Amino acid sequence: MSVEEFDYVSYLEKRLAAAHGEKKIIRTEIQIEIATAKLLREKNYHAITVNLIANTAGVAHGTFYRYFTDKRSVVAKTIADYFRFVRASRLPIPRDASQFEAIRQANLHYVECFRRNVGLMRCHFRLKDEDEVIAEVGRHADAAMVDRVIDRLRREGEFDRWDPARLRLTIFCLIGMVDELLLKIYSQTQPALAEFEDAPQLVATTLSQMWFSAIYGGHGSQDPGDTSSRV
């Protein structure tokens, strides 16, 4: 995938262009979401106003309220739609991919999306402790991820060796680890990690080794020490 294909604003702009013949209500909602995503690239949440969103979207202040109740609602929808974009835009993982390679490909896609849309992710993580609506968006995304991992383990016959509660806790821990590290790298909150900002392959592979070890514990079909799948 090209850099543009990981960028959520570019995706929305393509959706808007494709909606040229659609009803105005559809196009206007996309315009407002594009404006919100663009502003979150440049500003923190509290510096953004409804007026600023409306002006950036090229719509009247009153028009905004026909679509959203307030700033919080449009930001929550933008973040929720972004998480759906991350999931939908990932290329299918080949059926013959090893367990480690499947994890690595999924992590690499997530890392690339994160680094191209760090404003959205920074907003999400800063607000989730103070805004219940935005926090729920993240909780839903995390829970869906946990369920997908468990479903995969069931298909692979690995689920039965786990205590179900411990497995869910382990997956939630791994999700938190990934998000915390990527936020430090790409939001530049930890100077010691700046050298990894342009090394998505290394970041994704390192995270994948931890995922593999924690989930499969040496029982998987490929040793994470095998570098053949990391090229």
109 and 214 co-located in one domain:
yes
Q: What pLDDT digit, counting tens, does each position of 166-176 carry?
A: 999 999 999 99
Domain end call among 37, 70, 103 = 70
Report the C-alpha gap between 86 and 107 in whole angstroms.
11
Residue linked to tokens 């382990």: 170
Contact at 8 Å (CB) between 225 and 206?
no
Residue 84 lies in a domain: no
Kindly report the number of other CB atoms within 10 A of residue 178's CB atom. 21
Structural domain of 142: 90-229
| pLDDT value, residue 2 | 66
Domain end call among 14, 42, 70 = 70
* Percent of the chain's residues with pLDDT above 90: 83
99 and 53 co-located in one domain:
no
Q: What pLDDT digit, counting tens, does each position of 53-71 carry?
A: 999 999 999 999 999 999 9
Query: What SS3 state is found at 188?
Result: coil
Q: pTM of the prediction?
A: 0.89
Residue 37 lies in a domain: yes
Report the C-alpha gap between 4 and 181 in whole angstroms.
23
Under the banding of pLDDT at 50, 70 and 90, the label for residue 1 is: low
54 and 94 co-located in one domain:
no
Q: What region, left, alpha or beta, does residue 58 occupy, with left being phi > 0 and alpha being psi -120 to 50 degrees?
A: left
Kindly report the number of other CB atoms within 10 A of residue 186's CB atom. 22
Residue 146 lies in a domain: yes
Domain count, the chain: 2
158 and 198 co-located in one domain:
yes
